[in-house]
Structure 1
Amino acid sequence: MPISIKTEKEIELMQESGRILALVLKELENYIKPGISTLEIDKKCYELIKGYGCRPSFLNYNGFPASLCVSVNNEVVHGIPDKEHILKEGDIVSLDCGVIYEGYHSDAARTVPVGEISEEAKKLIEVTEQSFFEGIKHAKAGKHLHEISEAIQAYVESFGFSVVRDLVGHGIGRNLHEEPQVPNFKQRSRGPKLAPGMTLAIEPMVNAGRYHVYWADNNWTVLTRDGSLSAHYENTVLITDGEPKILTLL
């Protein structure tokens, strides 16, 4: 499939989709506290998205049973919300969510602390977030995709953390997943040349330990093989003639 270049109208719709998603994630971040279940967070997410007149991108996507991926501690991504899974002080929780506004998707993720967390966990969240911003310094028309990937990996590894290799970011628009794939690690090829109107979901997934992961029996949830903590930070990004535009930040 070719990489879709969005029209002005499509960009407007994606901007609104992204704005709504940013509001939803901000409310969810404020909602997180010790003692609530991951299912409660998902229910809150569904209500918020519906309240904005949108639909959740993830609900029933390839059979995923929730509006939100809630991944705790050593869960990397695609944690399935569960009424038995109660958050406790010291946990870190990744919230990964998508919104459909008038047929256009946005996709973003944040990792947030539950109460007081360890210094290592704080550093991991910080480095994961900043690695995204290191990457998008290269998200400019005329550059190649691999420059984003390399910048993310170099920054993460400079702190002794590792970038997950089995999962990557992606193009986004009328579909949740479009071309191109957006790895967070160095590639052999330069990848496509970036052009104005491309929209990418750039999403570093970073482990405190080694990068190896495995899939849980539910075939969705991905966990660190060594049991180390993992963090996830993602935004939907528009390539322009100048600086990139982050569509999922307030």
Structure 2
Amino acid sequence: MNISKVCYNVQTRNLFWKKRKPNFGKYKIVEPGKVSPRKLVPHHIPKPSYYNTGEPIENIAYPEIKNYQQIEGMRESCTLAANILKKIEENVKVGQTTEEIDVAVYNMCIDNGAYPSPLNYKKFPKSVCTSVNNVACHGIPDDRPLLDVGNVDDEGRNLVNATEICLNKAISICKSGTYFKEIGACIEETAYKLGFQVVPAFIGHGIGHYFHGPPDIFHIRNDYPGKMESGMTFTIEPVLTQGGEMIEILEDNWTAVTIDFARTAQFEHTVLITDSCADILTLPN
């Protein structure tokens, strides 16, 4: 999770928008709403190192090669996450707030004896990120009601489709012996051919008993060293944008928005590297 903070005057942004609004389609620019207090987690739920302080204590120096027991634990947690996402997707509706989505995610995690990983990670106050329209990443659930969630314009649909294509193509090249840097080259080239840019400020990462660790998975061309090995698990999570690649972080220290108000889309999977392919762990059953 590598966030580049861009200083940019809001008045200047608004002036740019009024004078030179690009043709990004029809949608509403998101402004942050009211955020409710952070929820606590029941005593019986195992908790990560950052639960109280907001700061993880794990210091992972190298990409971890997981054993059978660790892999099975990853499969279980990733399947649960995918099932929760699927359930949320099936029930999203107009007028629902992102706060209500967060409550639903929190409750489903707790009901399954699981800790919602984002909660208080580096002081993130909620159980899920909800990034709408011009919010590129790490949107904090709040009291804003969702508008039309089905009749999206062609520009928006093309953006979403292109992002999913980029993710799937990147996954398809992964296997033991592949250089990590090939993921970024694949995604950037594919996005460009489809008419979009990658937001470079956000990267995938190793994951396991820790939330974030090596390897770093860049979504643009890069020189990150090393090759994939069987037993590694990491996320691939490209963010594509209709406009420019620059973003800024709002005063909440989390919400990342495009400085040109362009919409973005993000797709993500956690994968397990094998000798012949990447096994996608975050699929619902």
TM-score, normalised by the number of residues in structure 2: 0.77
* Secondary structure of residue in 2 paired with 1:129: helix
Distance in 1 of aligned mates of 2:186 and 2:205:
17
1:182 paired residue among 217, 237, 246: 217
CA distance in 1 between counterparts of 2:71 and 2:230 reads 11
Residue 191 (structure 1) shift: 2.3
* Correspondent of 1:165 among 181, 200, 212: 200
Q: Which amino acid aligns with 1:186?
A: R
State whether residues 5 and 197 of structure 1, in contact with CA within 8 Å, keep that contact through their aligned partners in structure 2: yes
Counterpart Cα distance in 2 of 1:162 and 1:128: 10
Instruction: Look up the SS of the partner of 1:69 in the other structure.
Output: coil
For residues 44-123 of structure 1, the aligned pairs below 5 Å read: 44-83=104-143, 85-89=144-148, 114-123=149-158
Counterparts of 1:2 and 1:115, CA distance in 2: 43
Among 168, 171, 194, the residue aligned to 1:136: 171
- Matched residue type, 1:88: L
The one-letter code matched in structure 1 to 2:83 is L
2: CA distance, partners of 1:121 / 1:51: 34
The separation in 2 between residues aligned to 1:206 and 1:49, in whole angstroms, is: 29
Letter in 2 for 1:69: C
Q: Deviations over 1:194-246 (max 9, x none)?
A: 10001011101111111111111111000111100000100110001112100
Give distance in 2, aligned partners of 1:52 and 1:23: 11
Unaligned runs of 5+ residues in structure 1 are: 90-113
Tell me the SS of whatever aligns to 2:129: strand
- C-alpha change, 1:11 and 1:157, in structure 2 (3 Å) is same
TM-score by length of 1: 0.88
Query: 2:182: which partner in 1?
Result: 147
Offset at residue 190 of structure 1 (A): 5.3
Q: How does 1:19-58 map to 2 (within 5 A)?
A: 19-58=79-118
* Preserved CA contact (<8 Å) 2:199 2:246: yes
Divergent runs of 4+, >3 A: none
Q: Is the 8 Å Cα contact of residues 137 and 148 (structure 1) preserved in structure 2?
A: no
The alignment-based identity, stated in percent, is 38
The corresponding residue for 1:99 is: none
**2:255 maps to 1:221:** yes
The 1-side partners of 2:231 and 2:81 are apart by 20
Q: Distance in 1 between matches of 2:210 and 2:122?
A: 13
RMSD, aligned α-carbons: 0.9
**Aligned residue pairs: how many?**
224
- 2:52 aligned with 1:18: no
AA aligned to 2:126 is: A
Unpaired runs of 5+ residues, structure 2, are: 1-60
Match of 1:125 in 2: 160
Structure 2 distance, partners of 1:167, 1:147, is 16
